[in-house]
Structure 1
Amino acid sequence: MVSPLVNSKKIGFLSFGHYGRSAGSRTQDAGESLRQAIELSVAAEEQGVAGAFFRVHHFARQGAAPFPLLAAIAARTSTLEMGTGVIDMRYENPLYLAEEAAATDLISQGRLQLGVSRGSPEPALNGASHFGYVPGEGETSADMARRHTELFREAISGAGIAPADLGGGRPGLLLPIEPQAPGLDRRIWWGAGTRATAIWAAEQGMNLMSSTLLTEDTGVPFDQLQAEQIRVYRQAWKDAGHDWTPRVSVSRSIIPLVSEEDHHYFGLRGQVEGKDQVGLLEGTLSRFGRSYIGEPDKLAGELARDEAVQEADTVLVTVPNQLGVNYNAALLGNVVRHVFG
């Protein structure tokens, strides 16, 4: 097995878990998508990949309920980290989430890396309200997500939550949620889309998960803006005085053109998708990172010049999951051996 620590960076994959009956899709339904995610995780571990991460979306044909999947992966692997990128905390019952996360982490023996955040735009109008969660008076949906996150983190840290029933209406000691998973509180990541939210994540004591999208734009290339985000995060972490070292991940679309199949699917895209994109997302000017598509040596050089990739300790490679297990296992093997190797 190739070492999962490549050039001092952990290389993981990030899957959106898409499924549907489109032409060429090898994940025709949700069952196929989930079962293939398990098999890809097993294959990825054999290729020397360090982590398997999954997007979480609601009211869409892609991954929505991560814990059955993560627990199944934990039971089939031995070194692979598994996690989310990210759970939308607007939709979550913080205490039930704490129980699910702890149980999954115990199955994995401490390999869960859980990404949480306010979440990305969803297709449903006020989707969280249909799950029973509505912001309080004077509170935004982002405020609600942070409030849910605070209670979740208290619960996994062993804080007392509910008073024990001693009978006769007498209040007892506060009971923590069970089970508890030691160390899980240091393996929570906040998905930050701006420099300000990265600073907030550092102050709260969470690892930083940054993706191929930032919901701000200063006119500089994406990798430079993201590198700045990472640097202000690390300074804020230092200023907060935390007594442990956090991790930082970035996501990249990386497609080495090695086989005829690679060229068939992505050769033309590689000729036109080499630049950042700037556009409006929910009315906010946002900058989207470029795709890296080309010969492995060329990609290795380009990624060596990507400032954010160099700043991060973990790189999550987004995979085209609808192309199936064999294709994506080969893609990840090529990334580990020929791009970052």
Structure 2
Amino acid sequence: MPVPLRKLGFLTIGLFDEADPRAGHEATLEIIQLGEQLGLDSAWVRHRHLQFGISSPVAFLAAATQRTSRIQLGTAVIPLGWENPLRLAEDLATVDVLSGGRLNPGVSVGPPMHYDDVKDALYPDTHGVEDFSYQRVERLLAGVRGDTVSRFSGQEGIEQFSPRVQPHSPGLIDRMWYGGGSARSAQWAGETGMNFLTSNVVTATETSTDFDEIQLGLIRTYRKFNPEGRVSHGFVVIPTDSATADQRARYEEYAAARATRFGTPFGPRGLLFAKDIVGTSDQIAEQLHANAAFREVEEVAFALPFTFGHADYIQILTDMATKLGPALGWTAG
């Protein structure tokens, strides 16, 4: 008997039109509001620099805190190569305070994409010596945790200075996530005490290109080092229970076009992609229950496809909450 799903959330990229960016951001806020109304547990936003998706998820989620009251709000993920960890700690704490303790920041490390093209603008004086290792996450965690970050504190004139990041949000450190696709990342996240995000992308190993096998290994590696940590799973699933014939046809065409990536390592890192799942909620639930990695988790954040329309997202999210969730044993909050 499959273990009932405990937490059900969704992930969106928040696409917008360059000529009218406000409309796209507003539409994504409306989708998050809908998620709360449907009883979903979490809404996560991706991070896209120099593209036409949400480039500043922390600022965006600050707005979402004022449109919602219950749903957890997350980032999946913020690439720290673009960030100053101390400043980001301030921003995260501020949004967590505004949300009433609902922020779930997910982060990752590594050089920014197309670093050679952007480094002169991003780090004009230090691009050759920037550290994009796990140490960058450790600096962020220190700020979020409330460690001392300044040698100066106390009164100066009429101003009061703190030695640690302000505002301080005590529970935020327990809601920090690391998004990883390799055994090394899974182990490091576990050892560091962070929660672990696994998605529809993993890294091929020297002995396997089997996506499901690798993902199961990541989850078990993480749990070996952090048995009490939270693990969230993410696939692209597209329930079609209330979809029109036109929607079903477009969804199937979308999944078929992306299926060519399955099973073949991509790029210098050997990335592997999961198959998208399109079908009725019962059909999707059957496939997920047959997946050993999925059976290991109690939380999911299903990814909404990048390029669909607003009406499509409403249909998918509604079916996800009213049909797919119950088929997975989930109960609305």
TM-score for both structures, normalised by structure 1: 0.84
Alignment of 1:220-235 (within 5 A): 221-235=210-224
- 1:247 pairs with one of 207, 210, 230: 230
The reply to whether residue 73 of structure 1 matches residue 73 of structure 2 is no
Aligned ranges 1:50-199 → 2 under 5 Å: 50-118=41-109, 122-123=113-114, 125=116, 127=118, 130-132=121-123, 134=126, 142-143=132-133, 146-164=134-152, 175-199=163-187
**8 A contact 1:155–1:177 mirrored in 2:** yes
- The runs of 5 or more residues in structure 2 that have no matched partner are 327-333
Q: How far apart in 1 are the matches of 2:155 and 2:105? A: 38
Could you list the runs of 5+ residues in structure 1 that have no partner in the other structure? 1-5, 22-27, 239-244
- For the 8 Å contact 1:90–1:128, the answer to whether it is kept is no
Q: Which amino acid aligns with 1:92?
A: E
Q: Give the structure 2 partner of residue 3 of structure 1.
A: none
Per the alignment, in what secondary structure is the counterpart of residue 226 of structure 2?
helix
1:300 matched to 2:285? The reply is yes
More strand by share: 1
- Cα displacement (A) at 1:99: 0.9
Structure 2 counterpart of 1:233, one-letter code: Y
Aligned-residue offset at 1:225: 1.4
In the alignment, the residues of structure 2 paired with residue 49 and residue 119 of structure 1 have an alpha-carbon distance, to the nearest angstrom, of: 32
CA distance, structure 2, for counterparts of residue 29 and residue 115 of structure 1: 28
Say if 1:120 and 1:127 are closer, same or farther in 2 by CA, change over 3 A: same
Taking the aligned partners of 2:235 and 2:186, their CA distance within structure 1 comes to 18
Distance change in 2, residues 1:212/1:114 (3 Å): same
Contact 2:79 2:112 in 1 (8 A): no
8 Å contact from structure 2 (residues 77, 106) kept in 1: yes
Q: Does 1:278 align with 2:263?
A: yes
Contact preservation (8 Å) 1:256, 1:335? yes
Q: CA offset at residue 136 of structure 1? A: 6.3
- 1:291 maps to 2:276: yes
Q: CA RMSD in A?
A: 2.7
Whole-angstrom distance in 2 between the partners of 1:158 and 1:284: 35
Is 287-296 or 116-125 further displaced after alignment? Answer: 116-125
Q: Residue 276 of structure 1: CA displacement?
A: 6.7
Match among 211, 235, 240 for residue 257 of structure 1: 240
**Is 2:76–2:107's contact at 8 Å kept on the other side of the alignment?**
yes
List per-residue Cα deviations over 1:3-40 (Å, max 9, x = no partner): xxx9333111111222347xxxxxx6422221111110
The question of 1:266 aligning with 2:255 is answered no
Please say if residues 91 and 131 of structure 1, whose CA atoms lie closer than 8 Å, have aligned partners that are also in contact: yes
The CA deviation at 1:257 is 2.1
Residue in structure 1 matched with residue 301 of structure 2 by the alignment: 316
**SS of residue in 2 equivalent to 1:33:** helix
Change over 3 Å in CA distance of 1:55–1:128 after alignment to 2: farther
Structure 2 length-normalised TM: 0.86
Q: Which residue of 1 aligns with 2:329?
A: none
**Greater Cα offset, 125-134 or 300-309:** 125-134
CA gap 1:73/1:102 in 2 versus in 1, 3 angstroms: same
Q: 1:17 aligns with which of 4, 14, 24?
A: 14
Return the alpha-carbon distance in structure 1 between the equivalents of residues 37 and 154 of structure 2. Answer: 52
